[in-house]
Amino acid sequence: MKSYRKELWFKTPQRRGYINITSQVRDCLVASGIREGLCLVNAMHITASVFINDDEHGLHQDFEAWLEGLAPHQPLSRYQHNRTGEDNGDAHLKRCIMGREVVVTVTEGDLDFGPWEQIFYGEFDGRRNKRVLVKIIGD
C-alpha cells in the first residue's frame, strides 16, 4: 500500500469565503502515483470546512446567507465561546453544517466524480493562513 500526504495553505481576504481546490487535490493525486484507493481531504482548523458541491457563484451566495441565518456572527454575545476572547463562535457552528472532510474515490489514477462534483475549502474565520490536509492511500 502506498500513501501520500500534503498540506495546502489558504488565506481568504475576508472572514468568510469559498475556494475551489479540486485542481490542487488532483495535482496531489498525480504526484502520489496512486491509481486505486481513497483520498481524504480535511480542514486542519475547526472553523473551516472541506465539502463537495457545485462551482456556481449564486449557490455560494446562498451558502453565505443560509449559514448566517442558521448561526449568525452577531451579536458576539450570542455565543459562550466568545467569552474566551474569540469572536468566532459562529464559525465553529457553520463548520458543523458544512463538514470537516470529504473522502473521494480514486479510480484509474483520477478523482472519481459525478458530473458536477468539485471540492471546496469553506472558510468561516479567515484573514489568516490556514491549512487543508490531503492524504491518499492505495496502490
Binding a copy of itself (rule: CB under 8 A), the pick from 31, 33, 105, 110 is 105
Contacts of 46 (CB under 8 A, 6+ apart): 92, 95, 100
Which cell goes with 22? 479540486
Q: Which stretch in 9-17, 21-29, 39-47 sits in contact with a copy of itself by CB under 8 A?
A: 39-47
- Residue reference for cell 496512486: 34
Binding a copy of itself (rule: CB under 8 A), the pick from 30, 36, 109, 128 is 36
Residue 40 as a binder of a copy of itself (CB under 8 A): the answer is yes
Cα 125 from Cα 47, distance rounded (Å)? 6
Site map (CB under 8 A) of a copy of itself, residues 41-80, x = contact = -xxxxx----xxxx-xxxx-xxx--x---xx-------xx
Q: Measured from the CB atom, is 21 or 104 closer to a copy of itself?
A: 104
Residue 98 as a binder of a copy of itself (CB under 8 A): the answer is yes
73-to-31, 64, 90 alpha-carbon distances in Å = 39, 11, 5
